[in-house]
Structure 1
Amino acid sequence: MTPKRPARGWLDGDQQRTWLAYIRLQLRLTYEINRQLQAEHDLSMPDYDVLTALSVAPASCLTITALATNIGWERSRLSHHARRMAERGLVSLDPAQRDRRVTEVSLAPRGRHALEAAAPGHVDLIHDLFFDGLPAELQAPLGAALEHIYENVLTRGTLPRPL
């Protein structure tokens, strides 16, 4: 039995180099951001993602489904995580006014305070680790490339498009 090959062939040298560079960067940045948020603010990166998404939502409130879609999580993962965040007083979970079967997640005052306290250090870390390593002339092309890739993932991926 011959091993199965990808439909469009293996990655060429440049593609493999680019993909592995992205994976290394994504894993290391996630580690560093999570470590800094945990150490300085007792927040995880997923906590920060939820708080940030709620902070920019109308009335700082979204349904579980809308919030999951906006941050690119499965609904069940968000539901479990939001419950843990609610136990810590960062968010509140309540039945929606229009449909009591639907759960809404709202940014609690404690969550807003935690986000506001964590944001300056988080932004400083992003400057230090990401933008300080990116030559100014590459910032716009990298941003454009990432936006194109994100749009392709939204078009061809399985999660619904964010609202």
Structure 2
Amino acid sequence: MSTSDRPSPPEGSPYSLMSDEQIRAWYAYMKVQLRLRYEMNRQLQADSDLSLPDYDILVALTSEPSGTMRIAALATRLGWERSRTSHHVRRMQQRSLLETSTGVDDRRATDVRLTAEGWRALHAATPSHVELVKSIFLDALDESDLEQLAGIMERVYEQLIEHGTLPRPNDHP
């Protein structure tokens, strides 16, 4: 359906504040993002008994050389509420993927670290997960598309950091 064939948003609709191209771009992003997360979650659960949020946490923890982060820093890195992060970490701890401890330098803080089982689960899940990401997303793009998309997403990320409510994660200067 071309932009000119699509009905205009009703008067007073929040979408009437966006141009047709902005609406098209936003809908395209939302369709891809929602479907991509569904497919990645389905594949991870089927192949490795991990959910996409499990995988997100495991990967986030690997960005620290020690495999350890404070709950608050992990929540910021993931863009999750701290309570959601704590609850999910607790569930993963029950499955022996993570362990927690009281912060050494701040007794009020909780440190989260990957266990040996968490590392094994991540290493086992990654090859098929990467193959899925390539087949349903990256293979649709040529080198020029990849460069443009990376630049666009980096600019959008900076806009999020500048105008969003979460602080910049420690790994992104």
In 1, Cα distance between the equivalents of 2:80 and 2:64?
A: 17
Q: Secondary structure at the match of 2:66?
A: helix
Q: Secondary structure at the match of 2:105?
A: coil
In 2, Cα distance between the equivalents of 1:81 and 1:99?
A: 22
Q: Please list, as runs of the form range in 1=range in 2, the aligned pairs for 1:24-103 lying within 5 A after superposition.
A: 24-103=31-110
1:127 is matched by which residue type in structure 2?
Answer: K
After superposition, the Cα gap between the structure-2 partners of 1:37 and 1:5, relative to the gap in structure 1 and judged at 3 Å, is: closer
Consecutive unaligned residues in structure 2, runs of 5 or more: 1-10
The share of aligned pairs that are identical, in percent, is 47
In 1, Cα distance between the equivalents of 2:13 and 2:124?
A: 50
1:143 is matched by which residue type in structure 2?
Answer: A
1:95-137 Cα deviation digits (max 9, x unpaired): 1111222110000110000000001111111110111111322
Shift of 1:70: 1.1
Q: Secondary structure at the match of 1:43?
A: coil
Equivalent in the alignment of 2:111: 104
TM-score after normalising by structure 2? 0.88
Q: Secondary structure at the match of 1:99?
A: coil
Structure showing greater relative contact order (alpha-carbon pairs closer than 8 Å, 6 or more residues apart) = 1
In 1, Cα distance between the equivalents of 2:68 and 2:17?
A: 44
After superposition, the Cα gap between the structure-2 partners of 1:24 and 1:5, relative to the gap in structure 1 and judged at 3 Å, is: closer
Q: Secondary structure at the match of 2:169?
A: coil
In 2, Cα distance between the equivalents of 1:67 and 1:144?
A: 25
1:152 is matched by which residue type in structure 2?
Answer: Q
Q: CA RMSD in A?
A: 1.5
1:46 is matched by which residue type in structure 2?
Answer: P
Equivalent in the alignment of 1:156: 163
In 2, Cα distance between the equivalents of 1:24 and 1:54?
A: 28
